[in-house]
Structure 1
């Protein structure tokens, strides 16, 4: 190649190289991957904190609701065990015609006495325990009475009513006494609709109940 052409080629190459070297590369592409902007990091951090706080609040709500209704859950479950220990036999039914053969005086008194005791142990007042226990008794009787009016046999299944009879009536009693519903009413209702059938199925599998409901 002629000497002039060689000099021209070298000059062009040098200029192009210099210009290319001056092209700025974004800071986000200097390293492998793309670095996150500090503001974006702050937003993600705040979002994660918000989610954690929401989860903690939900957990606290569930614990508080469960603590409030736990005595009725426990007593209602204890009646199943008591029924099993008696050989599935009812002693001294309250009124077979009105409530069926499964509603007996011993179960009524069992609920009325044990519920207040558990409420007191959990730090609630004896008055609240008595109100909730009495409401649970009346709720069980009303559900049985409704079944008799519908021509259903004793021990038959009535959806929703069987799940909520020992919860809704105590809440009604609570409202009549205190002028407002319990703090976690809606949450407790949803919990009961899930936990009550689940508990009955477990009791049925263990042989503590003759039916899964």
Structure 2
């Protein structure tokens, strides 16, 4: 598989996770998933940045992305291609990727609080990689990827995440660029 096809395949597969991770920045807010509670160390469990609304819309838009991917495959690509998981397959895969991504983001926030980092403080790699790792962990048992695709995603995702955060910051959708 040439590098360009590998890159396209990797991004196509993980796209619902990327979308799910980005949407709460735009449509989030409201009640935090930790209900404002503190852990036994006295610091917040997760913080105000992870909300029920953001989680709901992240998963919803992740699934919508998967549904759109299905129709793109049917309409514009070879329906016999490796990209055709079928509609139900795309719904399940995108749900797993989106849920895993948001769980990973929550876990990253939990870890940051344990290190006494406030919401918005930078934690290099933790901020950029936990959502991808957990998206892959949630989806892999049902939709496995070759190891070279996983490695590629682990390498490019921090760069894509950082780039998209810079764009969101410039558009005033985020308070910090990381």
TM-score by length of 1: 0.65
Match of 1:182 among 128, 133, 145: 145
The structural deviation recorded for 1:122 is 0.9
CA distance in 2, matches of 1:150, 1:132: 27
Partner of 2:12: 67
The gaps in structure 2 that reach 5 residues or longer are 37-43, 71-84
Corresponding residue SS for 1:68: helix
How many residue pairs match? The answer is 150
Greater relative CO, 1 or 2 (CA 8 Å, sep 6+): 2
CA distance in 2, matches of 1:207, 1:154: 17
Q: Which has the larger radius of gyration?
A: 1
C-alpha distance after superposition, 1:15-53 (max 9, x if no partner): xxxxxxxxxxxxxxxxxxxxxxxxxxxxxxxxxxxxxxx
Determine which structure has the larger helix proportion and give its number: 1
Once superposed, which parts of structure 1, at least 4 consecutive aligned residues long, lie more than 4 Å away? Answer: none
CA distance in 1, matches of 2:65, 2:46: 27
Partner of 2:100: 135
Corresponding residue SS for 2:116: coil
Contact 1:172–1:181 (CA<8 Å) still a contact in 2? no
TM-score by length of 2: 0.76
Root-mean-square deviation (Å): 1.8
The gaps in structure 1 that reach 5 residues or longer are 1-53, 84-89
Contact 1:174–1:182 (CA<8 Å) still a contact in 2? no
